[in-house]
Amino acid sequence: MLPYICAMGRSWLALVFFLLVVCGISNAQKSQSKNPTSVDPSATKVYAPKASKKKKSGATTYDARDKYYDRMEMNSKKRRKNENMESTPQYSNFQYFGHKKPPKRRPPEKMKYCKICGIRH
C-alpha cells in the first residue's frame, strides 16, 4: 500500500507542476506581446492625425475672407428658401396642423384619431 501512495503523490505533484508551468508560459507570452521587441519594434501603433504643413508664401491671400463671403451667401440662400417654404399653405394655413394635405372632414361617428397631431378628424 505504501508504494501505491508514494506513486499517487508523485503523479499529483507532477500534475500540479505541469499546470504551474503552463500558466507561467501563458502569462509570459501575454506580457511579451505588449512590449516592442527586435522582431516587431512597432508593437503599439499610435493612431493620430498627421500634422498638416502649411506653405508660407510671400503674397497675401484672401482665402479666409472669400470663404466668409461664400458662407454668408449660402446662409442668405437658406433664409430665402425657408421664407418661401413658410409661405406655402402647409405652414401658413392652420387647417393643415402638421399635415402635408388638410385632413378629411368626417361625420362625428366616423372620426378617427390622428397619430400626427393627436386630434380626432
Mean pLDDT of residues grouped by 10 in the chain (121 residues)? 56 72 61 61 69 71 89 96 85 76 86 85 79
Flag whether 60 is in a domain.
Answer: no
Check: CB of residue 86 under 8 Å from CB of residue 104. Answer: no
Structural domain contains residue 113 = yes
Give 46's DSSP letter: -
With CA atoms as reference, report the closest residue to 114 among 90, 98, 94. Answer: 98
Kindly state whether residue 112 falls inside one of the protein's structural domains. Answer: yes
* Cell representation of residue 77: 440662400
12: its cell numbers: 499529483
How many domains in the chain?
1
10 Å Cβ neighbour count for 103? 18
Residue 59 in any domain: the answer is no
**The C-alpha cell that represents 9 in the structure block:** 503523490
Residues 119 and 97 sit within 8 Å (Cβ to Cβ): yes
> Do the domain assignments include residue 108?
yes
In which domain, by residue range, is 102 found?
A: 86-121
- Counting every residue written for the chain, the total comes to 121
119 grid coordinates: 386630434
- Residue 53 is predicted with a pLDDT of 76
Residue 95 confidence (pLDDT): 76
Residue at 117 is within a domain: yes
State the sign of the Cα–Cα–Cα–Cα dihedral 27, 29, 30, 36.
positive
Give the model's pLDDT for residue 29.
Answer: 55
